[in-house]
Amino acid sequence: MANDGAAFPGAAGFFDEAVDQQGHIRNHYRPVQEWFDRLTSAQVKALEERGNESFLRRGITFTVYGGEEGTERAWPMDLYPRIIEAGEWSIIERGLIQRVTALNRFLDDIYTGEQAVIHDGIVPRHLITSSTGFEREAMNVQVARGARCLVAGIDLVRGTNGGYRILEDNLRNPSGISYVLENRAAMTKLLPAAFSDLAVRSVNHYGRSLLRALRSIAPPASGNDPTVVVLTPGIFNSAYFEHAFLARSMGVELVEGRDLVVDNHMVAMRTTRGLERVDIIYRRIDDSFLDPVVFNPLSTLGVPGLMAAVRAGQVSIANSVGNGVGDDKAVYAYVPDMIRYYLGEDPIIPNVTTYLLWEPEQRAEVLERLGELVIKPVAESGGYGIVIGPKATEAQLDEVKEKIMSDPRNWIAQEVVNLSRLPAWAGDGFAPRHIDLRPFVLSGEQVEVIPGGLTRVALREGSLIVNSSQGGGSKDTWVLDDSNKPVEAPS
């Protein structure tokens, strides 16, 4: 198959993960590239179809609402893996541990501390209290080990010079880890020979690591064998597969709100043996639906009285209520300052250059450059509401300008990052497509970064939107452990 370096020439303005500027395959990609070179297009297509059929048969799907093709689709996995060298990964790992540690300290400071970050002028008070993710019900609710964000998904991008940057933080209910594990399982079956020349770090321990982290925040009354459950909104939720997968991988019960009751501030689940105490809830329900007593009274998804049980210290939930203030895209701009403030360190991985549109001077500059920037609503996820200036029409730019002027707090602007590229299957051959990376970070007795993460790929030619809900797919991410050579941190 004609897939040598010349097939994926490096392009000006993009960093190519697999190909250098001379058009040669990078050394750590060479074994995989040589393996694909031995396949015909028909063979690659057959492997892709086998993968899709396997995902559908096992219920590994993703739901897209409003699409003409229906809502249930096989999880889109591209066969060409992303490969990260050991030295490069060590820098990413240290940067993520640093960032999540600072964010946990920020959340604990805001909700149970002295709000020193506000009093010392690091983050403006109005920015926090006006965030839709800030929850007053979380005030003075203690969390063991300060692990308010027990599971974090941090989105990384790689710019033109190859340097990594943090694009956004996901601190509430970050999804995607089940697809990381299922991608790996699929790749080991579809392309077993491709692993033969590379020592790839395993991700199969995630269930054990998550369970250990959850048990580390158990309330004191739970004893030595605390009971953990995964709380799901139910089968109609787009991420239900992941909820069931995580419960199964940890060996714990998957429950819905109707399966739980609160009595005298103690949470119990209904079983065939009667009520059984629950000590830790890994919830996959948004704050507003979690407890109809204190949040949305119309919610049938949550558990009445749950927050009172949490406040009484009889049950722990992860992630904590109110984490949304930490991944507000306007608060994101202050995370480098949080790292310096709480840890006394410079950020290992920088942010993307960000403009806060509630500040008059920054807003005026952005409005002059709308066609050059990426405009984002601060509280949306899944790629919704984003306007990429260089690709937008005049009508789209006029519309977002009106929205900014009417509610500047709700918007930020960022410099365009020309996402790095990697070959992806385009139906009849491989072609370069843009990618990002979402590693997952667990905060328990120690902070642990799962090797690799979810590499998302924009399968549409020229697209910079990698979200599956917007036509993106995914790749298996291989972190190598066979190199101890130091790597300089990219600028």
Q: What beta strand segments (E) does 159-199 contain? A: 164-170
pLDDT on residue 485: 46
User: How would DSSP label each residue in 49-102?
Assistant: HHHHHHHHHTT-EEE-TT-TT-SEEE--EEEEEEEE-HHHHHHHHHHHHHHHHH
Q: Where in the chain is the domain with CATH 3.40.50.11290?
A: 220-314
Tokens of 42: 């028909």
Q: pTM for this one?
A: 0.93
pLDDT at 491: 40
Whether 131 and 328 have beta carbons less than 8 Å apart is answered as yes
Tens-digit pLDDT string for the chain (491 aa):
434 333 454 455 789 999 988 889 999 999 999 999 999 999 999 999 898 888 888 877 666 555 454 456 677 899 999 999 999 999 999 999 999 999 999 999 999 999 999 999 999 999 999 999 999 999 999 999 999 999 999 999 998 889 999 999 999 999 999 999 999 999 999 888 777 778 899 999 999 999 999 999 999 888 889 999 999 999 988 889 999 999 999 999 999 999 999 999 999 999 999 999 999 999 999 999 999 999 999 999 999 999 999 999 999 999 999 999 999 999 999 999 999 999 999 999 999 999 999 999 999 999 999 999 999 999 877 667 899 999 999 999 999 999 999 999 999 999 999 899 999 998 888 999 999 999 999 999 999 999 999 999 998 887 777 776 666 789 999 999 864 344 444 44
Separation CA 415–CA 128 (nearest Å)? 24
SS3 category, 300: coil
**Please, where in the chain does CATH 3.30.1490.270 lie?**
354-415
- E strands, 132-273, where? 151-158, 164-170, 228-231, 253-255, 260-263, 266-271
Residue 383 has what pLDDT?
A: 67
Q: How many CA atoms lie within 13 A of 475 on its CB side?
A: 26
What's the rounded Cα separation, in Å, for the pair 60 and 62?
Answer: 7
Q: How far is CA 85 from the centre of its chain?
A: 21
Separation in Å, CA 391 to CA 165, 254, 320, 373, 465 = 22, 43, 38, 10, 12
Q: Are 419 and 434 in contact (CB under 8 A)?
A: yes
Q: Are 423 and 131 in contact (CB under 8 A)?
A: no
Q: What is the pLDDT of residue 430?
A: 92
Cα 27 from chain centre: 29
Structure tokens at 300: 């049938």
Q: Look at the domain 220-314 and name its fold.
A: Rossmann fold (3.40.50)
How many beta carbons lie within 10 A of that of residue 301, not counting itself? 19
Q: Any idea which architecture 354-415 has in CATH?
A: 2-Layer Sandwich (3.30)
- Cα–Cα nearest to 475, from 241, 61, 182, 36: 182
